């Protein structure tokens, strides 16, 4: 958006805050069995209320004052501080672990190692079937034996009176090892052989027609190999917990994407009822997939119980690199064959990534090619290569970020070979149905997004001849790439709504705010569903004692909360009608006959038959009404293919002297269903694009191939984008509600990041004539 557009949004936001917020149209309850029925939700039918307006973040004032409490900021009397010591070999056995100096060090309360740690149950890993709410990312025992599984594994925890004392004592821990042969590089892992990736016990391989034969028969084709490095999330808040035992009850102040999952998983490991563990996480200083359960959760809880004191365990930045994983390295083959008119006939997308033998987490990179181009034939498959490295983890758009780099680079290469505009090539291969399986898309406006984006970006000014635009030492070029991400509503969502006699409603969901604007956007939805002013609703979240099984992953949380809230508001309206007394304007009306409006319920066919919530509760003599509702199983995904779409356009300047790439302009053109809040949505789109810029140009976790140790385990050496790397990011969107999604909105947390690296690579090719198939595109690759 332009500055003027941004200013307009701010103005609108201010105007919104002043207006009464009472829509004149009663909003009916969403009927049961809505999932899978088009336009069942009135908020997906163009209802105008708070949804769709640019409300400023409700937690903004707290955050800008520094008053938002994060996990490492909860105080307890008698709090002890923890520090960790890490292994320095990738694989083997500890033959000695000298803790004497640490134990004698001033202020030390406890040194915990495998020798004195209490016996623990195995870690239940993340459960891909979603049956159990496991959120462990390594199926390994936590400090139970002398085995070392990777270079950087915690081998001892030191507890001391101060952080300084703990850090110093941890530096005195000395281990000796009997090293065993280890696979410490991706190349070595590939050389040792790969095995097919399975999800739910089934290979993800997709075969349609004879793709290799169709490829060979294609008039024009590309067939290339693309390489991507490991990445780390590097949330600015490092992982941290503050834990305290109250008798048999464990209190965990956490920074997590899964409060209930963390409580459940800790309960399994510690052997206690998860209901006796309360995990809260009101603010999360960035997640992106990595704020899951790692060993520090377990170690802090164990140390606290052993020492009998509350414990804070905040990972150092180095610790974040050593013991929490990121995106794995990958090598992919993408081949695309087409007719001379650009009609795609074959897509082959296969590749392998590095993972550990104890990993529960897949990186399904070939799925990136599964749902987009109308091709006759496909072979798509992902395989794994085992390495003895830190566990890989879900990182913003697993599979897709690197899968799209390969696919969308290859499509650009194909356009070049065809002598065709890359946007035209994509438009010629648009499809109304999913090419795999044939289901219709719930709402696909990718072509509109491409055309609107090209127009706004000035794509017609792009020179089709690579290396032809020069400005002094700088070579300029434009590139584009598709973005896409699936819609997902995970089962288990539930919400509780408390309506009080003063006409206020508070919803509670065990969901998460990591910067997405969760409470703000869900408050807008709740206000519209109940016909209340925005300042009369609130949404509580981030507490495992609240209802629902939410995991803030896969861009699924908004849909999950949405599905739970629409059920809970229906139940609330139903219960309210049971309280209606004779003499009420609502008397005799059924749930199907009423809607929420003006702070109460009204007859749909005669809004003058209205009674406020205060009045209904007062007549019934009730101080409050509390209801719960559970999201229906996600049947909307059964018969239609639900994806978001869009395109990234970017302009780069590459120095012919240094090889440095500067991104000078970016536009995202997005088709994500209804935009619930243009401010927070724009922020998420921009954030994904910025993370994509890092993947494109600077980010790489560098392992020492000899010993599997990360050598750039700091923010000084691992380069995330900084202010000067990020130009103003322009955004437009179609804003066409998805008829099958709650409130018409598909998730957006990961969408924009998927196509950034290929858009940059394609722009660099347009600028320089150099095709780089190996991320990040650092200066030396362009010299």
Lay out the site mask for another protein across 515-554 (x = CB under 8 A, - = otherwise): xxx-------------------------------------
**Of 74 and 378, which CB lies nearer to another protein in the complex structure?**
74
Residue number, 12 or 448, with CB nearest to another protein: 12
In this structure, what is the dihedral angle of CA atoms 249, 67, 523, 569, given to the nearest 10 degrees?
A: 20
Of the pair 73, 455, the CB lying nearest another protein is at: 73
d(CA 138, CA 394): 12
Toward another protein, which CB reaches closer, 334 or 648? 648
CB 173 within 8 A of CB 155: yes
The residue within the footprint of another protein, chosen from 59, 388, 508, 543 (CB under 8 A), is: 59
Structure-token pair, residue 380? 């798509």
Q: Give the span between the Cα atoms of 612 and 57, in whole angstroms.
A: 28
Report the residue from 138, 237, 388, 632 that binds another protein according to the rule CB under 8 A. Answer: 237
Span of 417-425, 434-442, 686-694, 771-779 interacting with another protein by CB under 8 A: 686-694
Window 636-655: residues binding another protein (CB under 8 A): none
Stretch 727-746: interaction string toward another protein, x if CB under 8 A: -xx-----------------
401's CB contacts (< 8 A; 6+ apart) are 327, 395, 692, 695, 753, 754, 757
Which part of the chain contacts another protein (CB under 8 A), choosing from 397-405, 520-528, 724-732, 759-767?
724-732
The reply on whether position 235 binds another protein by CB under 8 A is yes
Q: Considering the complex, what minimum distance in angstroms separates the CB of residue 544 from another protein?
A: 20
- For 781: left if phi > 0, alpha if psi spans -120 to 50, otherwise beta; the answer is alpha
Pick one of 22, 63, 195, 706: the residue that binds another protein (CB under 8 A): 63
Among 188, 603, 720, 736, binds another protein (CB under 8 A): 720
Shortest distance (Å) from residue 8 CB to another protein: 12
**What does the alpha-carbon distance between residue 707 and residue 704 come to, in Å, rounded to a whole number?**
6
Tell me the backbone φ, ψ of residue 625, rounded to 5 degrees.
-135, 125
Q: Which residue has the tokens 């590939």?
A: 190
Q: Which residues of 648-672 are buried (b: 16+ CB within 10 A; e: fewer)?
A: bbbbbbbbbeebbbebebbbbbbbb
Q: What is the DSSP letter of 701?
A: P
- Contact residue for another protein among 234, 375, 484, 641 (CB under 8 A): 234
Q: Tell whether residue 689 is a contact of another protein (CB under 8 A).
A: yes
- By CB under 8 A, name the one of 162, 225, 468, 639 that touches another protein: 162
Pairing of strands 240-246, 311-314: antiparallel
Stretch that binds another protein, among 3-11, 400-408, 438-446, 613-621 (CB under 8 A): 3-11
The yes-or-no answer on residue 750 being catalytic is: yes
Catalytic-labelled residue, pool 430, 700, 750, 780: 750
Question: For residues 632 and 489, is the Cβ–Cβ distance under 8 A?
Answer: no
Closest approach of Cβ 202 to another protein, in Å?
Answer: 35
Asked if 535 and 588 count as a contact pair (C-beta separation under 8 A), the reply is: no
- Report the distance separating Cα 680 and Cα 535, nearest Å: 18
Among 50, 283, 353, 541, binds another protein (CB under 8 A): 283
Sign, CA torsion 103/108/112/113: negative
Distance of CA 57 to the CA centre of its chain: 19
Tokens of 147: 């085995």
Piece of 146-154, 313-321, 362-370, 559-567 that binds another protein (CB under 8 A): 313-321
Q: Cβ distance 137 to 292 under 8 Å? A: yes
CA 248, CA 690: separation in Å to the nearest integer? 44
Size of the site for another protein (CB under 8 A): 68
- Minimal distance, residue 69 CB to another protein, in Å: 7
* Closer by beta carbon to another protein, 73 or else 145: 73
Q: How far is the CB of 166 from another protein (least distance, A)?
A: 11
The answer to whether the CB of 597 falls within 8 A of the CB of 22 is yes
Q: What is the 3-state secondary structure (H, E, C) of 102-159?
A: HHHCCCEEEEECCCCCCCCCCCCECCCCCCCCCCECCCCCCCCCCEECCCCCEEEEEE
Told to check if 241 binds another protein by CB under 8 A, we report no
Compose the 163-202 pattern: x for residues touching another protein by CB under 8 A, - for all others.
xxx--x----------------------------------
User: Which residue, 615, 584, 581, 622, is CA-closest to 598?
Assistant: 615
Which lies closer to another protein via its Cβ, residue 341 or residue 473? Answer: 473
Residues 97, 172, 211, 284: which binds another protein (CB under 8 A)?
A: 284
Cross-strand bridge partners of residue 601: 596, 611
Q: Which two tokens stand for residue 677?
A: 């809040």
Q: How far is the CB of 228 from another protein (least distance, A)?
A: 19
How many Cβ atoms are within 10 Å of 178's Cβ, its own excluded? 12
Shortest Å distance, C-beta 252 to another protein: 18
285 makes contact with another protein (CB under 8 A)? yes
Number of alpha carbons in the 13 Å side-chain half-sphere of residue 76: 22
* 714 scored as a contact of another protein (CB under 8 A): yes
Alpha helices in 500-580 (DSSP H): 518-530, 557-579
Where does this chain touch another protein (CB under 8 A) — which range of 193-201, 441-449, 541-549, 708-716?
708-716
Asked if residues 519 and 537 have their Cβ atoms less than 8 Å apart, the reply is: no
17 is an interface residue for another protein by CB under 8 A: no
Q: List 538's β-bridge partners, or say none.
A: 506
CA distances from 528 to 495, 498, 744 (A): 16, 16, 14
Per-residue DSSP letter, 673 = B
Stretch that binds another protein, among 96-104, 202-210, 284-292, 459-467 (CB under 8 A): 284-292
Range in contact with another protein (rule: CB under 8 A) among 221-229, 439-447, 642-650, 687-695: 687-695
Per CB under 8 A, which region of 397-405, 498-506, 513-521, 548-556 contacts another protein? Answer: 513-521
- Per-position x/- string for 67-96, each x denoting binding to another protein as judged by CB under 8 A, each - no binding: xxxx-xx-x---------------------
* 723 is a contact residue toward another protein (CB under 8 A): yes
Binding site for another protein (CB under 8 A): 3, 6, 10, 13, 56-57, 59-70, 72-73, 75, 162-165, 168, 233-238, 283-288, 314, 316-317, 514-517, 679-680, 682-684, 686-691, 714-716, 720-726, 728-729
> Which sequence positions are flagged as catalytic?
750
């Amino acid at each position: 958006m332009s500055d003027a557009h941004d200013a307009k949004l701010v103005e609108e936001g201010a105007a919104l805050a002043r207006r009464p917020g009472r829509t004149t149209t009663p909003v009916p309850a969403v009927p049961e069995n809505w999932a899978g029925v088009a336009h069942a939700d009135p908020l997906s039918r163009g209802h105008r209320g708070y949804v769709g307006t640019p409300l400023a973040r409700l937690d903004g004032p707290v955050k800008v004052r520094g008053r938002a409490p994060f996990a490492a900021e909860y105080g307890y009397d008698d709090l002890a501080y923890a520090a960790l010591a890490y292994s320095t070999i990738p694989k083997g056995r500890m033959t000695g672990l000298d803790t004497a100096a640490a134990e004698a060090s001033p202020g030390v309360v406890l040194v915990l190692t495998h020798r004195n740690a209490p016996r623990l149950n195995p870690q239940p890993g993340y459960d891909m079937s979603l049956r159990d709410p496991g959120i462990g990312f390594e199926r390994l025992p936590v400090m139970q034996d002398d085995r070392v599984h990777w270079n950087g594994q915690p081998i001892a925890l030191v507890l001391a009176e101060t952080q300084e004392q703990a850090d110093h004592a941890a530096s005195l821990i000395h281990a000796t090892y009997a090293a065993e042969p280890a696979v410490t590089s991706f190349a070595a892992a590939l050389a040792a052989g790969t095995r097919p990736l399975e999800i739910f016990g089934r290979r993800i391989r997709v075969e349609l027609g004879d793709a290799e034969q169709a490829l060979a028969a294609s008039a024009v084709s590309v067939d290339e190999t693309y390489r991507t490095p490991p990445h780390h999330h590097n949330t600015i808040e490092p992982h941290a917990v503050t834990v305290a035992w109250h008798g048999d009850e464990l209190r965990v102040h956490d920074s997590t994407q899964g409060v209930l999952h963390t409580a459940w998983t800790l309960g399994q490991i510690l052997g206690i009822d998860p209901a006796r563990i309360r995990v809260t996480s009101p603010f999360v200083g960035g997640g992106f997939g990595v704020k899951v359960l790692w060993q520090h959760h377990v170690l802090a809880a164990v140390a606290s119980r052993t020492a009998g004191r509350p414990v804070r365990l905040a990972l150092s930045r180095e610790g974040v690199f050593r013991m929490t994983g990121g995106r794995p390295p990958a090598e992919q083959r993408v081949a695309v064959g087409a007719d001379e008119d650009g009609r795609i006939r074959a897509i082959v997308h296969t590749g392998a990534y590095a993972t550990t033998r104890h990993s529960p987490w897949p990186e399904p990179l070939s799925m990136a090619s599964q749902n987009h181009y109308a091709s006759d034939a496909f072979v798509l498959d992902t395989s794994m290569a085992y390495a003895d490295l830190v566990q890989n983890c879900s990182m913003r758009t697993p599979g897709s970020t690197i899968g799209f780099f390969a696919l969308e680079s290859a499509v650009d290469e194909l356009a070049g070979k065809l002598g065709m505009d890359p946007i035209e090539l994509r438009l010629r291969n648009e499809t109304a149905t999913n090419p795999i399986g044939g289901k219709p898309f719930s709402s696909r406006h990718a072509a509109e997004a491409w055309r609107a984006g090209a127009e706004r970006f000035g794509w017609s000014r792009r020179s089709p001849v690579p290396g032809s635009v020069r400005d002094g030492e700088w070579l300029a070029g434009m590139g584009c790439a598709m973005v896409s991400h699936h819609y997902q509503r995970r089962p288990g969502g539930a919400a509780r709504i408390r309506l009080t006699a003063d006409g206020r409603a508070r919803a509670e969901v065990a969901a998460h705010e990591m910067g997405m604007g969760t409470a703000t956007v869900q408050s807008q939805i709740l206000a519209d569903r109940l016909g209340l002013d925005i300042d009369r609703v609130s949404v509580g979240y981030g507490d495992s004692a609240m209802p629902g099984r939410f995991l803030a992953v896969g861009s699924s949380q908004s849909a999950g909360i949405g599905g739970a809230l629409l059920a809970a508001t229906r139940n609330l309206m139903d219960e309210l009608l049971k309280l209606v007394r004779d003499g009420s304007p609502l008397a005799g009306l059924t749930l199907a006959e009423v809607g929420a409006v003006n702070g109460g319920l009204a007859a749909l066919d005669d809004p003058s038959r209205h009674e406020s919530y205060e009045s209904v509760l007062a007549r019934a003599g009730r101080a409050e009404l509390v209801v719960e509702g559970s999201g229906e199983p996600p049947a909307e995904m059964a018969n239609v293919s639900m994806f978001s779409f869009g395109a990234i356009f970017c302009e780069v300047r590459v120095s012919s002297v240094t090889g440095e790439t500067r991104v000078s302009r970016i536009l995202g053109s997005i088709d994500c269903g209804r935009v619930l809040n243009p401010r927070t949505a724009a922020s998420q789109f921009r954030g994904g694009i910025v993370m994509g810029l890092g993947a494109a140009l600077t980010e790489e976790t560098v392992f020492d191939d000899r010993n599997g140790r990360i050598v750039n385990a700091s923010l000084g050496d691992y380069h995330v984008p900084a202010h000067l790397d990020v130009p103003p990011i322009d955004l437009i969107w179609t804003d066409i509600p998805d008829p099958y999604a709650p409130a018409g909105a598909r998730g957006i947390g990961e969408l924009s990041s998927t196509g950034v690296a290929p858009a940059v690579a394609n722009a660099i090719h347009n600028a320089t004539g150099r095709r780089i198939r190996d991320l990040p595109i650092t200066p030396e690759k362009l010299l």
